[in-house]
Amino acid sequence: TATAATKASMEVEGRKVEIFFFPFVGGGHLIPMIDLARLFASHGVKATVITIPNDITVFQKSIDRDQQTGLDINFHALELPADATLQNVDMSAPPMTDTSILQEPFEQLLIHRRPDCVVTDTFHRWVADVIDVIGIPRIIFNGNCCFARCCDENIKRFSPHKEVASDMELFVVPGLPDKIELTRSQLPIFVRTGTEFPGKSMRAEQNSFGQVVNSFYALEPAYVDYYRNVIGKKTWLVGPVSLCNRNLEDKAARGQKATIDENSCLNWLDSKKPNSVLYVSFGSLARLSPTQLYEIACGLESAGHPFIWVVGKILDDKDKENCFPDGFEERILDSKMSLIIKGWAPQLLILEHESIGGFMTHCGWNSTLEGVSAGLPMITWPLSAEQFYNEKLVTEVLKIGIRVGSEEWASWNMERKIVVGKDKVKAAVVRLMGGGVETVEMMRRAKVLAEEAKRAVEVGGSSFNDVDALINDINNYGS
Ligand code: UDP
């Protein structure tokens, strides 16, 4: 709830400050934006989530619960023509999804309601112009942490990747607080080739009022300072936003209904020893090939540690019989040693259970931060987007994870040339879950960060204060 000192500033001209939150469709961007809206509502503003009917059903219950506790939070569904492709998007909608069909109803809504500010996702590529013409302060949410933004900015600015002779040769990202080395093969294709992310408007970022970031100061202080002071971006750090999910219901159905009953999942976890289970997930979007899934299955099974493996969508569905070794699923089911979840997992609930001792992750920023908030050491397996930067943060700056050895950036729906073999998978699992000195030390560091994450969002914490600071800045906008 809002502090007494800031309560007064929740009002402009005698009415409550109203912020529109306009999330992009799909998991990794939609989920944190809903949390963001709930977080701001808990600081006393009127929060309205502007979205499509499909997405409302997914989050309706959490919003209902918030309303029952007195928060001023609502949805507004933009009308879609019956035949619009957006009618059928789900949690795995890719970043290229064209949302411009929403432009007309969104514009009308803005003119009619005139909120005090709009927080919008960068993947709505048309939205900046619409908001700027009407003259409402516009804040960007792009889902990344400051570390990844700093890597991205400095690679674009200094082009160190053009100085190396091959795609596999290491180069140093210039200017950063730490020595961060990457290879060209780990860079997004549009960074490698010097082109812009398709359809993305640079102007949208330059003319915005600032950026809201799902991170917290103590996690990456040198990079927050660098991003603010050297790169020069106005930034409010308000995370981890997932920590606003405080009860079991919110954690169990985040984003979509889980394909496993949460109670049977929790009962299974209860039957395991503390810190003994590895949670394996590659997020909402990535599609792995049957060949890669086969290697993961062999590696996980031979490592001999219990796991929960969330098998998401498969790259080549035709070949899906060949994803697992003979009898693999039956052995898992019969032994009860591990769990396979096909579809959607109640990730927050699982990560926070005391039986979980490690997280094999694709380093999507939400998952990474959820792992940090749960105090877990990680096995990093980046695939696309800015995930190779996040891997560096986890393994080399925070020192709470080890690499599986993923070397090749590829778009979420592309076949990779390099498959990570079962031996590498097994070696990483044995190293992380084997309980050696290295893991104990990583676990200790991860627990410290988890405590700092919780402190950041509590009253008086750095993220709590940044939410209030942003609300104040909205109040003072133009004065
Ligand atoms: N998620 C989940 N269950 C799943 C897969 C994903 O709850 O089975 C959530 C996860 O907790 C995270 C988000 O979906 O909040 C995925 O975002 P992330 O940035 O990690 O990866 P992306 O999906 O964007 O690649």
The whole-model pTM stands at 0.95
Q: Of all protein residues, whose CA lies closest to atom 23 belonging to ligand 1?
A: 284
298-342: pLDDT as tens digits: 999 999 999 999 998 888 767 677 899 999 999 999 999 999 999
How far, in Å, from the CA of 311 to the mean position of ligand 1? 12
How far, in Å, from the CA of 27 to the mean position of ligand 1? 6
From first to last of its 479 residues, the chain has per-residue pLDDT tens of 444 444 446 666 667 899 999 999 877 889 999 999 999 999 999 999 999 887 888 888 889 999 999 999 999 999 887 777 777 777 777 777 888 889 999 999 999 999 999 999 988 888 998 999 999 999 999 999 999 999 999 999 999 999 999 999 999 999 999 999 999 999 998 888 877 666 555 567 778 999 999 999 999 999 999 999 999 999 999 999 999 999 898 998 888 889 999 999 999 999 999 999 999 999 998 899 999 999 999 999 999 999 999 998 888 767 677 899 999 999 999 999 999 999 999 999 999 999 999 999 999 999 999 999 999 999 999 999 999 999 999 999 999 999 999 999 998 888 888 999 999 999 999 999 999 999 999 999 999 999 999 999 999 999 999 999 999 999 988 77
Determine the Cα–Cα distance for residues 417 and 313; give it in Å rounded to an integer: 19
SS3 for 51? Answer: strand
Whether 353 sits among the annotated catalytic residues: the reply is no
Q: What are phi and psi of 316, to 5 degrees?
A: -120, 95
Question: Cα 6 to the chain's mean position, in Å?
Answer: 29
pLDDT of residue 321: 77
371 lines ligand 1 (CB under 6 A): no
Query: Got the DSSP string for 352-370?
Result: TSTTEEEEEE---HHHHHH
pLDDT of residue 8: 47
Determine the Cα–Cα distance for residues 344 and 387; give it in Å rounded to an integer: 20
Strands 170-172 and 210-213: unpaired
Strands 277-281 and 307-311: parallel
pLDDT of residue 12: 67
Contact residues for 445 (Cβ-Cβ < 8 A; gap 6+): 398, 399, 400
382 lines ligand 1 (CB under 6 A): no
Strands 170-172 and 181-183: antiparallel
pLDDT of residue 203: 65
26 lines ligand 1 (CB under 6 A): no
Whether 124 sits among the annotated catalytic residues: the reply is no
Determine the Cα–Cα distance for residues 285 and 310; give it in Å rounded to an integer: 12
Determine the Cα–Cα distance for residues 381 and 364; give it in Å rounded to an integer: 10
How far, in Å, from the CA of 429 to the mean position of ligand 1? 21
How far, in Å, from the CA of 132 to the mean position of ligand 1? 31
pLDDT of residue 5: 41
How far, in Å, from the CA of 366 to the mean position of ligand 1? 6
406 lines ligand 1 (CB under 6 A): no
Q: Given ligand 1 and candidates 366, 369, 376, which is best to mutate, with the most ligand atoms within 8 Å of its CB?
A: 366
Cα distances (angstroms) measured from residue 367 to each of 166, 250, 380, 381, 458: 31, 16, 11, 12, 21
Q: Position of tokens 């979840």?
A: 341
pLDDT of residue 195: 72
pLDDT of residue 4: 42
The residues facing 236 across adjacent strands are 212
Q: Given ligand 1 and candidates 250, 347, 389, which is best to mutate, with the most ligand atoms within 8 Å of its CB?
A: 347
